[in-house]
Amino acid sequence: MGLVLIGMLFSTMILLGLWERRRSKKRYHEATRKLKELDSEFPAETDEK
């Protein structure tokens, strides 16, 4: 019974880690996409010397 609980705990930790990695990767790609959109909205600034 103890081995089953240890196995369940171990598998749960692995699954949560994989889920969190996928979630953070998705958030990272979404943030970079938004940044590129914002960057394209503003014209490139030129030096006014």
Q: Which two tokens stand for residue 16?
A: 């949560």
Give the pLDDT confidence score for residue 17 in this predicted structure: 97
Task: Label residue 13 by pLDDT band (50, 70, 90).
Answer: very high
Q: What is the arithmetic mean of pLDDT over 11-15? A: 98
Give the pLDDT confidence score for residue 5 in this predicted structure: 97
Convert the pLDDT of each residue in 15-49 to its tens digit.
Answer: 999 999 999 999 999 999 999 998 888 776 655 55
Give the pLDDT confidence score for residue 25 in this predicted structure: 97
Q: Alpha helices, DSSP H only, in the chain?
A: 2-41
Which of 32, 14, 34, 33 lies closest to 22, judged by CA? 14
CA dihedral 26, 31, 32, 37 (to 10 degrees): 130
